[in-house]
Amino acid sequence: MMRKQLLFYCFCILFVAFSLLLVSSSNVQADSRSLEKFLSVHDKWLGITEEGVKGPVGDWHYYWKNGFRIDSPEKNFTLRTNLSIMVDGGDIGADDELQRAFPDLEGPDVEFRQLRVSFFGTIYDWAEFKVDIDFANVRDIKDEWIRFTKIPFIGHFTVGHMKEPFSLEEWTSGKSRTFMERALPTQAFAPGRNFGIRRHTVALDQRMTWAVGAFYNTGSYSDVGHSKDQIGEANGWNLTARVTGLPWYEENGKRLLHLGLSYSHQFSGNEDVGSQLRTRPESRLTDDRLVDTGEFITDSADFINAEFASVHGPLSFQGEYFHVFEDADALGNPNFWGFYLFGSYFITGEHRNYGRQSGTFYRLEPKHHFRPFKGGWGAWELTSRFSYIDLNSEAIRGGKEFNFTAGLNWYLNKKTRFMFNYIRGKVKDREIPTAVEDGSADIFQARFQIEF
């Protein structure tokens, strides 16, 4: 605990000091001139690195543009490498009820939420590939796939370890999400990444997307080199599909209405391995799951998700509803559900960016990057979210949780962001595996995020 407290205090000092350094740089004219000179040199070198150099053999092109890139002479082969870093720090406080059930829940902590290296490339004009490894989580392989883009009448066809097409929030990249962590029901019910095949295509002049896939239920690859073992030991397989539509789209996405529907049927493949639904309290500062069904045997399960999002300039809303039907006769065929709803407002006038080919939101670029001597302070976003999950049904009493989150996001530029979240969580009616009648927690957390 002393080590966690020391790391937390160091994180707070560095976080505040860096923020004050950025802000104070505009208050002193000399500092402003120094910063302006530094950024001028930075821009000059950025131009040089974007131009790059030609290799000694075969005129291969090596340069920096949104990551380190290598192109073959005729661009028959391209490769881009990126590094993404997220550092989280915060403190969790709990009442006596939760502290009794979860003795390790309270206290400060700091962690590398993400230390991810990704490689994305193309082969001629018919294939793309990606390898994405997060070294902050014991070399956790996120993506490992190849996509064929030129198969007639099929569209994009992907094979490998990837996200199943389910849920707007799940499909949105963690680097672009509005909150530090996904909402309670998304964490508990979205299938996440598995090994399989997936087809994805766009229709109706990019007003509609649909994707369908079949996946082994392998879960995350927790270490390099174990893919074969996890495929052989997969707990069943899933059929998953998602369709989205844009009934309203104006001003290049400044105003829009997004609707979507996802479905996943999960076949159990191992009678000795049970299913389990649970979620962290929208924070990775703890490994405790405040609601948890425990492990139970089920023959199959149906997961249904409905999603919507609307953008009205700087103001936007997003919400999803989840429902799970378990085929478990011995337990009375329980079903579980949850939802979230959030609002976002950019006080600096930006709006959330929507990708019509993916049916998701992607990262924001501020109107004015952080350059205070030129009046640029980046983008500032106010957020709030309410989420709920109910894991009580029939013989299973995993508990109910309500969370309210208030947040502030500061985008210095397209690839650098500070995030602040306050979460008030309330847990009720949990009987297994640890009883909680009525408990609450307060979570304060912050994140520094940067990508190279």
**Helix or strand or coil: residue 3?**
helix
145 within 8 A of 284, measured Cβ to Cβ: no
- 119, part of any domain: no
Q: Which of 368, 385, 381 is nearest to 419 (CA)?
A: 381
Q: Measured between alpha carbons, how far is 303 from 325 in angstroms, rounded to an integer? A: 7
| Nearest CA among 306, 210, 303 for reference residue 265 | 303
Q: Which residue has the higher pLDDT, 96 or 225?
A: 96
Q: What is the pLDDT of residues 145-157, one digit of tens each?
A: 999 988 877 778 9
Q: Is residue 40 part of a domain?
A: no
**E strands in 164-203:** 193-203
| Mean pLDDT value of segment 244-254 | 96
Task: Please check whether residue 431 lies inside any domain of the structure.
Answer: yes
pLDDT of 56 over the 80 cut: no
The answer to which of 116-120, 287-291, 370-374 has the lowest mean pLDDT is 370-374
Distances (CA, A) of 124 to 77, 80, 127, 357, 409: 6, 15, 7, 21, 39
Cβ(366)–Cβ(378) below 8 Å: yes
CB 95 within 8 A of CB 434: no
Give the chain's length.
452
How does the average pLDDT of the chain come out, rounded? 87
The whole-number average pLDDT for the span 440-452 is 96
Interacting residues of 448 by C-beta distance below 8 A, sequence separation 6+: 15, 18, 86, 87, 417, 418
Three-state SS for 90?
Answer: strand
Confidence of residue 189 (pLDDT cuts 50, 70, 90): very high
Output phi, psi for 160, to 5 deg.
140, -160
pLDDT score of 325? 97
Q: How confident is the model at residue 141 (pLDDT cuts 50, 70, 90)?
A: confident
Domain count, the chain: 1
DSSP string, 364-396: ---SS-SBGGGTB--EEEEEEEEEEEEEEETTE
Q: When comparing pLDDT for 337 and 51, which is higher?
A: 337
The CATH code of the domain that includes 105 is 2.40.160.10
Q: Is residue 16 part of a domain?
A: no
Buried (b) or exposed (e) across 419-450, using 16+ Cβ within 10 A?
bbbebebbbbbbeeebebeebebebbbbbbbe
Look at residue 141 and tell me if it is in a domain.
no
Does the pTM surpass 0.85? The reply is yes
Section 25-44 average pLDDT: 56
Split at pLDDT 50, 70, 90, the class of 229 is very low
The whole-angstrom separation of Cα 155 and Cα 145 is 16
Between 282 and 41, whose confidence is greater?
A: 282
User: Which contiguous run of DSSP H or E holds residue 35?
Assistant: helix 29-51
Tell which wins on pLDDT, 186 or 30. 186
For residues 328-338, average pLDDT: 95
pLDDT above 70 for 33: no
CA 140 distance to own-chain centroid: 15
Specify whether the CB–CB gap between 165 and 242 falls below 8 A: yes
Strand partners, 386: 341, 404
Give residues with Cβ within 8 angstroms of 306, minimum separation 6. Answer: 260, 261, 262, 320, 321
Neighbours of 305 (CB within 10 A): 25
Helix (H, G, I), strand (E, B) or coil at 182: coil
Q: Would you place residue 59 in the very low, low, confident or very high pLDDT band (cuts 50, 70, 90)?
A: confident
Residue 130 forms part of a structural domain: no
Per the domain annotation, does 94 fall within a domain?
yes
Mind listing the pLDDT tens digit for each residue in 307-331? 999 999 999 999 999 999 999 999 9
Domain range holding 105? 89-114+162-451
29 occurs within a structural domain:
no
Report pLDDT for 228.
44
